[in-house]
Structure 1
Amino acid sequence: MKKLVVITGAGISAESGIKTFRDADGLWEGHDIMEVASPIGWNNNPELVLDFYNKRRAQLLEVHPNEAHQILANLEQHFHVEIITQNVDDLHERGGSKNVLHLHGELLKVRSITTKNEILDWKTDLNLGDTDKHGVQLRPHIVWFGEDVPAIETAIEIIETADILLIIGTSLQVYPAAGLINYVNSNVPVFYIDPKPATIYDLPNPLEVISLSAVEGMQQLKEKLLNSNF
C-alpha cells in the first residue's frame, strides 16, 4: 500500500467554521498574535491568554469535520495515510483519520507550565488556579511563537517516506512547517490544494497546484488518486 503523506493548515479547518490564524490586518479576534500566542504574552497577562484559548476551545466543540476531513479518512482504505497538521483542532480525528501528528499542539489538551511530558485532556475552560497533581499551574498544550516544535523531527521522518505528498490549506509561510516539503524525495508527486496557493520555488518534484477550497480540491483529487497508478 502506497504511503500518502498530507500536510494540512488552517484552510481545511476554515470550511468547518474555524477562523484562520490571522485576519487580513494580522490580528486574531482583535489581539496581536504575540499577546496570546507567545511565552511573553503568557508572562505578561496569563488571564488574557487563558480567556483567548477558552473561547477557541468552546468554538471548536461547536463545529464538525467537513467533507475534506472525511475524504482523507476514507482514503485510508486505499493508502497508508499519515497527516501532519499545523492545526490545533481535532477535526481530522473526528473525521475518522487514525494517524495524525500535530505540529503546533492540541487545543483540547493542557500541560503544566514546567513540563511538556504530562499532557492532560481538557474540554472545559482553563483558569488560573487549575493545576496538575503537583500543584503547578496548567497552560494550553500549544506551541507558541518562540518555542521549539518538538514534533518537527518526527514530521521530517514521515515526509521522507512518502510515496505521494499532499498539501492542503496552508500558505507555506510558517516555519519550520513550511520547510517540510524540502524533505520529500525528488521522484514523489506533490499536490497542493489552496484557493490562493503560494508559489513553490525550486521543488524538483512533479507538482500539481489545485486552486480550490479544501473540500472542492479533495473532491477533485480523490478521483485522480484512486484512478492513477502511482
Structure 2
Amino acid sequence: MFDSLARQIKDAQKIVFVTGAGISQESGIPTFRGKEGLWRKYDPMQLATIDAFYENPGLVWEWYEERRKNILAANPNRGHFAIAELAKHKDVIILTQNIDGLHQRAGSKKVLELHGSIIRIKCTSCDFNDNITKSFEELPPKCKCGKILRPDVVWFGEGLPQDVWSDAITHAQSCDVMIIAGTSLVVSPANTLPLYAKQNGAVLIEVNPEKTVMSSDMDLSVREKSAIALPELVSIIQK
C-alpha cells in the first residue's frame, strides 16, 4: 500500500502534521486517555474546567505546576526532531493538541497550538500573557494587577482560540499530505481536521500503535510509536 502512495507523498508541496499526546509520551509526558492516562487517575472536571479553577484555584494550580515542572524537564524525542528536519525540505505545518512546547524546542517554527500552552501564563483579568519557565513561589500565582494568573490552556467547556482554529482549517484544506501522529482523534473539534484534508484530496497517514475511530478513513495506518515511525517515514519522503 505504501508503494502506491510513495510518489504522492514525495511530490507533496505542503505537509500538515496533526499531533497529540502520543508523540510526547516517549519524552516522559503522560497521555490523557491511554492505559496510564491522566484522566484515569484524576477527574478532569475538578482540574481542567474554568468552574473548577474558580472554585479551588490552589488545587488546580498545584496540579498544573507539577505538570509544568515535568514538561520543562522533558526533552523532545526523535519524532519531534524528525518533523523539524522535514521542515527544512518541505512546507511543514504542525497543528498540535499538545501544550508542552516540545515541537518548538525541537526546532519546528510553524506550530499552531490548538489547546494553548502550559508554559504560557495569562491573567484572568488584564491582558498579561507571557512564557514563564520558572516555578511559582506561591500558588495560585498573582498578576501585577492583583488578580489570579492561569495557565494559557484550553479547558473543557472553553472554545479554541478562533484565530488559531481558523488558520488550522485553512492549512488542513490546502495540504497535499496530512500525517496524524499520536492522537486518538476523539477530541472535538481537532478531530475534524483530517476530514477537511480528505475533502481536499490529501493523502491521510495515521501513526499510532492502536487503531483509532478514524483508522478506516486513512490511506495508510502505521501501527508504531511516533518516535520510531516518524524518522523512518521522513527519511522515505526525503529520498
Q: Does the alignment reach a TM-score above 0.5?
A: yes
- Percent same amino acid among aligned pairs? 35
One-letter code of the match for 1:171? S
Moved more, 211-220 or 130-139: 130-139
The partner residue of 2:166 within 145, 153, 163 is 153
One-letter code of the match for 1:195? P
8 A Cα contact 2:61 2:140, kept in partner? no
8 A Cα contact 2:179 2:204, kept in partner? yes
1:182 and 1:135 map into 2 onto residues whose CA distance is 44
Give the equivalent residue in structure 1 for 2:177: 164
Give the equivalent residue in structure 2 for 1:87: 98
Change (3 A) 1:40 1:26: farther
2:180 and 2:67 map into 1 onto residues whose CA distance is 24
Give the equivalent residue in structure 2 for 1:190: 204
Matched, 1:118 2:128: yes
> TM (normalized to structure 2)?
0.86
Q: How far has the Cα of 1:154 moved from its partner?
A: 1.8
Alignment of 1:126-141 (within 5 A): 126=136, 127-128=138-139, 130-141=141-152
8 A Cα contact 1:26 1:32, kept in partner? no
The partner residue of 1:74 within 77, 85, 98 is 85
Change (3 A) 1:152 1:106: same
Give the equivalent residue in structure 2 for 1:56: 67
Change (3 A) 1:141 1:14: same
Larger proportion of helix:
2
Q: How far has the Cα of 1:31 moved from its partner?
A: 1.9
Q: CA RMSD in A?
A: 2.0
Q: How far has the Cα of 1:26 moved from its partner?
A: 6.5
8 A Cα contact 1:37 1:145, kept in partner? yes
Change (3 A) 1:25 1:202: closer
Q: How far has the Cα of 1:155 moved from its partner?
A: 1.0
* SS of structure 2 residue aligned to 1:31: coil
Change (3 A) 1:124 1:224: same
Change (3 A) 1:195 1:123: same
Structure 2: which 5+ runs fail to align? 1-11
Q: How far has the Cα of 1:65 moved from its partner?
A: 0.4
1:70 and 1:130 map into 2 onto residues whose CA distance is 33
Moved more, 181-190 or 4-13: 181-190
Change (3 A) 1:154 1:128: same
2:28 and 2:189 map into 1 onto residues whose CA distance is 26
> TM (normalized to structure 1)?
0.90
Q: How far has the Cα of 1:199 moved from its partner?
A: 3.6
1:27 and 1:197 map into 2 onto residues whose CA distance is 20
1:27 and 1:88 map into 2 onto residues whose CA distance is 14
Structure 1: which 5+ runs fail to align? none
8 A Cα contact 2:17 2:179, kept in partner? yes
One-letter code of the match for 1:173? V
One-letter code of the match for 1:118? F
One-letter code of the match for 2:143? D
1:201 and 1:123 map into 2 onto residues whose CA distance is 37
Give the equivalent residue in structure 2 for 1:213: 225
